[in-house]
Amino acid sequence: MLQYIVDFYEQQDPNEEELEKLIKRLATEPEFGVQFVAEFDGSLVGFSTLYFGFSTLRVQKTATMNDLFVTSRVRGEKIGERLFTATLDYVRDNGYAYMAWETATDNIVAQTLYEKMGGKKADWLFYEIE
């Protein structure tokens, strides 16, 4: 997860203690979120993370895929597709209205994968404020 945060998205090192707390919480509190991991030749090579919310429009619980990451050395092995499928299966099997996610506008590789997997660009705009 650290490689993903620091290297892929060029962010500062997160607080290790806080990162460890997050990982433990994902492993022990499924109502908070869940994380799926991928291994290849005995090594951890990818993960996806789901967090949960609620839609007042649909009056149903919702899921947000906050992360989908595969290390560069195994890209092309369809690990991203399998992680995406496992994540979506969890959403469908557990009665969520939908799964939403976002990606960087310049991440064409991810956009291609999402479209291949049946994802559609939403009609809603995304805003943020710090």
User: Distances in Å between the alpha carbon of 104 and those of 4, 38, 73, 75, 116?
Assistant: 14, 22, 21, 18, 17
Query: What would the pLDDT profile of 15-74 be if each residue is shown by its tens digit?
Result: 889 889 999 999 999 999 999 999 999 999 999 999 999 999 999 999 999 999 999 899
* Protein fold of 2-116: Aminopeptidase (3.40.630)
The three-class DSSP label of residue 75 is coil
Give the residue carrying structure tokens 């943020």. Answer: 128
pLDDT attached to residue 7? 64
Residue 118, amino acid: G
- Residues 6 or more apart from 130 whose CB is under 8 A from it? none
pLDDT attached to residue 4? 57
pLDDT attached to residue 16? 85
Q: What is the pTM of this model?
A: 0.86
**pLDDT confidence tier of residue 9, bands split at 50, 70 and 90:** low
